[in-house]
A and B are shown apart, each in its own frame.
Chain A
Amino acid sequence: MTLAHAPVKIRITALAGLLLAAPFPVRGAPITFNTALPVHQGGWVLREQFVLNRNTDDPSSANRDVRVSGFVSVLGYGVTRDFALFGVLPYLDKRLDVNMAGQRVERSDEGFGDFILIGRYIAYTSDAPGRTLRIAPFLGVKAPTGRDDARDGLGRLPPPVQPGSGSWDVLGGAVLTYQTLDFQIDSQLSYQANQNANGFESGDVFRADASFQYRLWPRKLGGGVPAFLYGVLEANLVHAGKNRGGGAADPNSGGTTLFLSPGLQYVTKKWIVEAGVQVPVIQNLHGTALKNDYILNAGFRINF
């Protein structure tokens, strides 16, 4: 790492919090975070999600442009009726365009990222005809399975462009779901504590999420199990702490972002297709931390 690269490394790390706080939704329900609905005992649910994260609003002269795209695979397994395990593995392409020494350069890498294993326990269930209320705490660990020492001709890539973080991190929280035949509400609080790796530590991430899904079609329910088309509106409040490097907090990292996320879901008995876009409506970031333009999520889920 040359000295010329160091400021770029520090400034773009504001993104790390958002990227590391990847959601792990797998059941029907929210697009950008989890739900408390059950995975039946012995059953599997697979989710494949395409993600495009664009960040171009750089207040500094570096004129940074960060694009992260790729797929996030989530596999859920119902160990018991109340306890489910989820494995999350992203494959991401990360690109940074930045002005360096009077030149526009691109730095990039792609590959499998860090694997996250999460256990979720449905601690409270209240079922009634055509509706359910559930509360489920969860706890997870992020293993440093992704490459964290990728290099290019300019040296070692800055942390947010590395496929992996290099650190073992823990996350936990709780999600509440109230589902009826007409609509569904989900709400989640979560916290991810990040550790140091390679002299760098991403700021911890706190998230508060809410989702409202309304059945648009069919307007009137008939018999059997018809497919549902849901209109979805979600809100994601993400607060990332300041990153630390070289023993000091980076004043140009971290901050608070509020996303509003409209979307659509088509839900059948066996599969779901869905798409949504997270649009930042409030960004209160520290210093010259790079702002987010949007995050596009699209994918499917399969029951088996």
Chain B
Amino acid sequence: MTRIWQRTVLAVVLALMSASAFAAQAYKLGVNGLACPFCAYGVEKQLKAVKGVEKVDVDIKTGNVIVTVAEGTAFDEATAKKAVTDAGFTLRGFEKIPAQGSGK
């Protein structure tokens, strides 16, 4: 009986993890004007404040920001542009890319 319970719990956990992994969506944002670590914080904070955003990875060398969002999140170019603009920078590119993980 205990073994059945263990298998059931494990199956549920795996199913949830799997669902999360496949549900996540990712976007690559090109940000102009980003040239120091202290400034990167503002971009990260503004994007993380968007509902549904699970993870933000900034690459300061390329000026690219990978944003991972939960499935069903309405994350479009206008939303990205507003967040980047509020951080004090300029959005130069926006494209959807394959999700690289489960987010978070």
Contacts and interface: CB of A to CB of B under 8 A. Distances in A.
A179 interface: yes
26 contacts: A28-B37, A28-B38, A37-B88, A38-B87, A40-B43, A40-B45, A41-B46, A81-B86, A127-B33, A127-B89, A128-B32, A129-B32, A130-B34, A132-B32, A181-B60, A184-B35, A184-B36, A223-B61, A224-B59, A225-B58, A267-B38, A268-B38, A269-B38, A269-B44, A270-B41, A303-B41
Contacts of A267: 36-38
A131 B35 contact: yes
B63 A130 contact: yes
A131 B87 contact: no
A125 B39 CA distance: 15
Nearest to A27: B38
B20 interface: no
A43 interface: yes
Contacts of B46: 40-41
A122 B88 CA distance: 10
B60 A224 contact: yes
A222 B37 CA distance: 13
Interface in A125-141: 125, 127-132
Contact of B45 (A43, A127, A301): A43
B40 A269 contact: yes
* B38, B42, B58, B90: residue with the most chain A Cβ atoms closer than 10 Å: B38
B79 interface: no
A285 interface: no
Interface in A237-286: 267-270, 272
**For B59, B60, B88, which residue has the most chain A Cβ atoms within 10 angstroms?**
B88
Contacts of A222: 61
Main secondary structure of the interface of B (DSSP, over half): mixed
Contact of B36 (A41, A78, A122, A228): A228
A120 to B, nearest CB: 12
Interface footprint category on B: 20 to 34
Contacts of B44: 269
B85 interface: yes
B59 A181 contact: no
Please provide the 6 A-B residue pairs with the shortest distance between their CB atoms, ordered closest to farther.
A38-B88, A40-B42, A127-B33, A28-B38, A127-B32, A132-B33
A19 interface: no
Contacts of B41: 40, 269-270, 303
Contacts, number: 107
A129 B30 contact: yes
Interface of A: 27-28, 37-43, 78, 81-82, 122, 125, 127-132, 179-181, 184, 221-228, 267-270, 272, 301, 303
A203 to B, nearest CB: 35
Contact of A81 (B58, B62, B85): B85
Contacts of B88: 37-41, 78, 81-82, 122
B40 to A, nearest CB: 5
Interface in B54-93: 57-63, 85-90, 92
Contacts of A38: 39, 42, 87-89
A268 B58 CA distance: 13
Nearest to B38: A28
Contact of A224 (B39, B43, B45, B58): B58
Contact of A40 (B32, B62, B87): B87
Contacts of B33: 125, 127-128, 131-132
A43 B42 contact: yes
Which residue, B30, B36, B58, has most C-beta atoms of chain A within 10 A?
A: B36
